[in-house]
Chains A and B, each alone.
Chain A
Amino acid sequence: MEGDHLWYEAAHVVGITNALNVAADGLAALPAVTALLPPVAEGRAGDPAGAIFARGDVPPVFRLLARDPFYAADVWAATRRAFGDNRLARRFKEALAFAVSLTSRSEWGTGFHLAEMKRLGVGDGGVMEVIGVTQMFSSYTKIADTLQLEPDMGDIAPVDDSPAPGGSPR
């Protein structure tokens, strides 16, 4: 997993996953919230969000975000970009999103990304591997935090001297 491009992609998946989980668990799943902010019914979303629903596989949280169709359209565009096949495969990105959701105890995100992993062909063994890594590093991180350990392995990774996409070498 060498090269910064892979890590930028991973960071974008982590960020947008957390953003969707926050709105899904904290807003869309709460009847007290949806009573005051009803999700937009399919077919009633204004442009440019209307095109999102034409796909049919849009996470329900977008129905709530579609109350502002311009905002929803941009979040959807960022989500599709982050999760699209690039140097990291979509299938692996769903595994990252599952790990993020499990770690942050997102009920919606954990279920959604587990279903996406299975849909994209990840077997039970592959799911258990992600659960194992997530659980083990949820242990190591808390041990490190409890003892306030200082990072001492940062210099074992190679430095990527390539420029930003489309940019010039330094």
Chain B
Amino acid sequence: MPTVRLRDASEYPEPARKLFELSKAWFNHDFKHPPAMSRVMAWDPEFGGPHGRAMKRAMAPGEWSRGEKEMVAAVVSGVNACAY
């Protein structure tokens, strides 16, 4: 169980809800509800905004493809023993 109540998308202000649409586009998946991490990062846009931009910059195709970077991310998550 999460230690906080994850708010429904409708409980967020309009600019945050736009971020949830961007999240759908990023993952190319039509989520029923925005992913928990997207809702957490939208809680404080002054943190989530730059953090999300840094993530998108790091994950953008460059010398490595987006797919390769997703695998690096999965490996890092595994080493950190993070099930999420």
Known interface pairs A103-B79, A140-B37, A148-B3. Does A153 touch B72 (Cβ–Cβ under 8 Å)?
Answer: no
Query: CA A92 – CA B73 in complex, angstroms?
Result: 13
Size bracket, chain B contacts: 35 or more
Question: Are A129 and B71 in contact (CB-based, < 8 A)?
Answer: no
- Total interface residues on A, CB under 8 Å, equals 42
**Residues B18-43 near A (CB distance < 8 A):** 27, 29, 33, 35-37, 40
User: A59 near B: Cβ within 8 Å?
Assistant: no
Question: Are A153 and B27 in contact (CB-based, < 8 A)?
Answer: yes
Question: Are B1 and A134 in contact (CB-based, < 8 A)?
Answer: no
Report the number of A-B residue pairs with Cβ-Cβ less than 8 Å: 126
A145 contact set on B, CB distance < 8 A:
80, 82, 84
- Chief secondary structure at chain B's binding surface: helix
Query: CA A92 – CA B75 in complex, angstroms?
Result: 12
Instruction: Say which residue of B55, B62, B80 sits within 8 Å of A125 (CB atoms).
Output: B62
Partner-A contacts on B (CB < 8 A)? 1-4, 6, 27, 29, 33, 35-37, 40, 51, 54-55, 57-59, 62-64, 67-80, 82-84
A144-B84, A153-B27 given. 5 additional CB < 8 A pairs?
A: A129-B63, A132-B58, A137-B80, A144-B37, A156-B27
